[in-house]
Structure 1
Amino acid sequence: MYSTQSGKALFPFIITLFLGLCIYLYLPSSQGEQSNFSGAATQVTAHTVTSEENAVLIEAIGSARANQAIYIRSAQNDYVTDIFFNDGDLVSKGQKLVQLQSQEEELAVKELSINLREERRQLDRLTELSRSQSTAKSLLEEQLSRVDATEAQLESAKTKLAEMTIKAPFSGLLGKREISIGTYVSNTTNITTLDDISIIKVDFKVPEKYLAQLQLGMKVMTQNDAYPDKTFNGKVTHISSRIDSVTRSVEVTASFINEKGLLRPGMLLNTALELSSNQALMVPEKAVIPQQDKHYVFQIEDGVANKVEVHVAGRHNGWVAIDKGLENGQQVVTEGIIKIRTGSKVSIKG
């Protein structure tokens, strides 16, 4: 049997032998794994940098309105005898919409026309007499006055008769019909609405500091949630002469040609005014790494990713304009950034 002292002497030796064996078995495997890790390329997604148009934009929200918009009303008071339109009709300028009862006005025009012919006949007779009789000259002047008065009455009657037929004052889109045949209308009765939507206008606010850069004809882009993938292009057609003393902004009006009628009055439009435009290198926003007041990207060259500093010139719709730090045609990492460091080997997916 071993003594207690002999057991205590062997114990350190056994521990040392066990640790040595573990190191021997672990070290080759660890070195192999490290070697494999350092040689493996990390898969990433990349974007090739291209030079594109970079616009400096002012974004705002505004409501769409028609180029012209009115309520159709009658200038005369009477009963409706005929209606020549339906809800939502597209009409042309001068097209007949409503006919009011007009027999009385027609008779007045007929009567005055007869009276005018008689007054002119009398005028012609007195004109002949005035050549030989001096007393007829005063009668001639009186007759001239009668003719002029009758002509004025006839023109007034014709105007009233014409107003019994209600026509479209300009081309546009009608709204809902508010009357029926037999309705008694006055000059306060809303018959329908008429909107000229061939051009849609939107008013929006621009901060006062940009006033010196504003010009008529500047490019304006707008979008609406009804057409999320479509952008409508227009231009500035009016700049207010006054600055709002509360908001310190100036109201700008942009006009958009609405050939297909997609835009409608009252729509909420997301508007972007282009102040200036230039060429810049564009990269996806997710490729840019912000650190304090600097920005970086991982640029790929010969399968190796290196972190380089870039200067951001502007941002718009998920894209960043770079004017320093990159060159046209270079590739930058867009996905997989957290897996790599400067000098990491990478392979590009796809």
Structure 2
Amino acid sequence: MYSRQSGKALFPFIITLLLIFSVYLYLPSSHGEQTDFSKMSTQVSAHTVTSQENAVMIEAIGSARANQAIYIKSAQNDYVTDIYFKDGDLVSKGQKLVQLQSKQEQLAVKELSINLQEEKRQLNRLTELSRSQSTAKSLLEEQLSRVDATKAQLESATVKLNEMTITAPFSGLLGKREISVGAYVSNATIITTLDDISIIKVDFKVPEKYLAQLSVGMKVLTQNDAYPDKTFTGKVTHISSRIDFVTRSVEVTASFANKSGLLRPGMLLNTALELSSNQALMVPEKAVIPLQDKHFVFQIKDGIANRIEVHVASRNNGWVAIDEGLTDGQQIVTEGLIKIRSGSKVSVKG
């Protein structure tokens, strides 16, 4: 009769048999094909080493300003009779912008011109008389003084008349018109603004540790969010003579030719100052393996990846400049580094 105790005794034996059978199924047959892992290759991503320009850049935020910027105001007080510009006009140096009422000034110039002619006529008459000693020398000198005084008055009146016509002091872009015809303006009235945007200047700060490397003429790149795919190139035109004792930085000014007119005063610009530039073998930073104080890469040759030591000259924006250990045209592993070791067979994706 089958007992419960004998069943319990057989249970471990059955489990053992099942485990042995399972192992037997998964073990490769001595007569069948076996998997040769030594012939398998690991799939990796690679980069071909090339000689590229290695630029050391200092990035900063700068504010744009116009080459020249003023408020247009009047030197005289009077009523506006004519306005010759519209909002946002591009004007040339000397172009008429506003005409003030100038009838009184015109009459003053005309009157003084007539007076000067009369004084000169009197001077000529006295000069002829003095040659025959028919008049006193003092009268001649007095008349000469009158001529000079009238000339000065005429020049002053002419200047005042010219100031009744307001012109552009330099070429540039006008802002919004702040006055209308018939308005009374004084020397405190803002008529409009004028910005010379043919050149845009950008002020930014550089840490003082780079002061010895700074020089006028250095290359500067800048970008603005309004034009994310466009880079503007300029150069350093001024280096401040003082160090900011709070930020321990020096203010640098770069100038950019703005023929397209895309850059505007007040823009916030991302600038990059190029400290130095040279040709170097550039590799992605992710391909370099740091180990203590050394650096290594996996070089691919004939489908085999071997670890070689390299010397890192500099790093910049995810790229590393290598000056020892590699040559132009060699291929190195960039992805899949943790899956390989020196001597591993590899296949490059793509």
Q: CA deviation at 1:286?
A: 3.4
The question of whether the paired residues in 1 share the 8 Å contact of 2:119 and 2:147 is answered with yes
Amino acid at match of 2:128: E
Q: TM-score, normalised by structure 1?
A: 0.90
3-state SS of 2:230 partner: coil
* Preserved CA contact (<8 Å) 2:126 2:135: no
Matches within 5 A, 1:254-273: 254-273=254-273
> 1:311 maps to what in 2?
311
Query: 1:136/1:349 Cα in 2 relative to 1: closer, same or farther (>3 Å)?
Result: same
Matched, 1:109 2:119: no
Partner residue, 1:64:
64
Per the TM alignment, residue 30 of structure 1 is displaced from its structure 2 partner at its CA by 12
Q: Give the secondary structure class of the aligned counterpart of 1:229.
A: strand
CA contact (8 A) 2:28 2:34 kept: no
TM-score normalised by length of structure 2: 0.90
TM-aligned CA deviation for residue 20 of structure 1: 3.9
Equivalent runs, 1:176-191 vs 2, <5 Å: 176-191=176-191
Change (3 A) 1:132 1:83: same
Q: Which residue of 2 aligns with 1:331?
A: 331
Unaligned runs of 5+ in 1: none
Between the two proteins, the alignment pairs up a number of residues equal to 350
Task: Report Cα offsets for 1:69-125 as digits up to 9, x if no partner.
Answer: 111111111111111111111111111111111111111111100010001001000
Between 1:56-65 and 1:97-106, the stretch displaced more is 56-65
- C-alpha change, 1:12 and 1:240, in structure 2 (3 Å) is closer
Q: Aligned equivalents of 2:184 and 2:32: distance in 1?
A: 98
The residue type equivalent to 2:73 in the other structure is R
Distance 1:66 1:303, change over 3 A: same
Q: Distance in 2 between matches of 1:347 and 1:210?
A: 45
Shift of the alpha carbon at 1:62?
1.1
Alignment of 1:10-89 (within 5 A): 18-28=18-28, 35=35, 38-89=38-89
Q: Does 1:344 align with 2:321?
A: no
Instruction: Write the deviation string for residues 291-310 of structure 1: whole angstroms up to 9, x where unpaired.
Output: 56554433322223334443
Cα-Cα RMSD: 2.9
Once residues 29 and 293 of structure 1 are traced to their aligned partners in structure 2, the CA distance between those partners, rounded to angstroms, is 49
Residues 132 and 329 of structure 1: CA distance in aligned 2, closer, same or farther (over 3 Å): same
More divergent stretch after superposition (264-273 vs 22-31)? 22-31
| Whole-Å separation in 1 of the counterparts to 2:43 and 2:273 | 40
Amino acid at match of 1:161: L
The percentage of counterpart residues that share the same residue type is 84
1:33 & 1:99 partners in 2: Cα distance?
Answer: 102
Report the 3-state secondary structure (helix = DSSP H, G, I; strand = E; otherwise coil) of the residue aligned with 2:178. coil
CA distance in 2 between counterparts of 1:331 and 1:4 reads: 71
Q: Distance in 1 between matches of 2:143 and 2:23?
A: 135
Aligned equivalents of 2:32, 2:49: Cα separation in 1: 38
**Within 2, Cα distance between the matches of 1:6 and 1:247?**
88
| 2:239 aligned partner, one-letter code | I
Query: Cα offset for 1:211?
Result: 1.8
Alignment correspondent of 2:146: 146
Q: Mind listing any 5+ residue stretches in structure 2 that lack a counterpart?
A: none
Partner of 2:96: 96
Q: Given residue 197 of structure 1, which amino acid in structure 2 is its aligned partner?
A: I
Q: Tell me what 1:233 maps to.
A: 233
Secondary structure of residue in 2 paired with 1:35: coil
